Amino acid sequence: MSIKLVAVDIDGTLITSDRILTEKTKEAVFEARRQGVKIVLTTGRPLPGVHDLLAQLNLTQVGDYVITYNGALVQNSATGEILVKNGVTHDEYLEIDLMARKLNVHMHAITATHIYTANRDISPYTVHESTLVGMPIRYRTQEEMTPDMEIIKTMYIDEPEFLTQVIEQLPKTFRDKFTTVKSSPFYFEVLNKQASKGAALTHLAEQLGIGISETMAVGDEENDLSMLEAAGFSVAMGNTTNQRVLEVTDAITSSNDEDGFAEALYKYVLK
Q: Are 57 and 39 in contact (CB under 8 A)?
A: yes
Kindly indicate the confidence band of residue 245, based on its pLDDT and cuts at 50, 70 and 90.
very high
Catalytic annotation, residues: 9
Eight-class DSSP state of 151: B
pLDDT at 1 over 90: no
CA 75 to chain CA mean position, Å: 14
Same domain, 60 and 117: no
- CATH number at 164 reads 3.30.1240.10
- Compute the distance between CA of residue 10 and CA of residue 133 in angstroms, rounded to an integer: 12
- Compute the distance between CA of residue 84 and CA of residue 75 in angstroms, rounded to an integer: 7
pLDDT in tens, 100-142: 999 999 999 999 999 999 999 999 999 999 999 999 999 999 9
Same domain, 183 and 97: yes
Same domain, 223 and 253: yes
Same domain, 131 and 172: yes
Q: Are 3 and 217 in contact (CB under 8 A)?
A: no
Q: What global pTM score does this model have?
A: 0.94
Pairing mode, strands 73-76 and 65-68: antiparallel
Task: Show which of 191, 208, 225 is a domain's final residue.
Answer: 191
Show Cβ contacts of residue 163 under 8 Å, excluding neighbours closer than 6 positions.
105, 156, 157, 185, 186, 188
- CATH number at 25 reads 3.40.50.1000
- Compute the distance between CA of residue 54 and CA of residue 249 in angstroms, rounded to an integer: 26
Same domain, 175 and 224: no
Show Cβ contacts of residue 131 under 8 Å, excluding neighbours closer than 6 positions.
none
Same domain, 261 and 217: yes
Kindly indicate the confidence band of residue 271, based on its pLDDT and cuts at 50, 70 and 90.
confident
Task: Show which of 122, 157, 191 is a domain's final residue.
Answer: 191
pLDDT score of 258: 98
pLDDT score of 44: 94
The length of the chain, given as a count of residues? 271
Same domain, 13 and 75: yes
Task: Show which of 191, 217, 233 is a domain's final residue.
Answer: 191
Same domain, 202 and 182: no
Same domain, 74 and 200: yes
Q: Are 111 and 151 in contact (CB under 8 A)?
A: yes
- Compute the distance between CA of residue 240 and CA of residue 249 in angstroms, rounded to an integer: 12
pLDDT in tens, 134-178: 999 999 999 999 999 999 999 999 999 999 999 999 999 999 999
pLDDT score of 216: 98
Same domain, 99 and 187: yes
Query: What is the residue range of 225's domain?
Result: 5-85+195-268
- Number of compact structural domains in the chain: 2
Show Cβ contacts of residue 168 under 8 Å, excluding neighbours closer than 6 positions.
none
Same domain, 101 and 154: yes
pLDDT in tens, 14-29: 999 999 999 999 999 9
pLDDT in tens, 163-221: 999 999 999 999 999 999 999 999 999 999 999 999 999 999 999 999 999 999 999 99
Same domain, 178 and 239: no
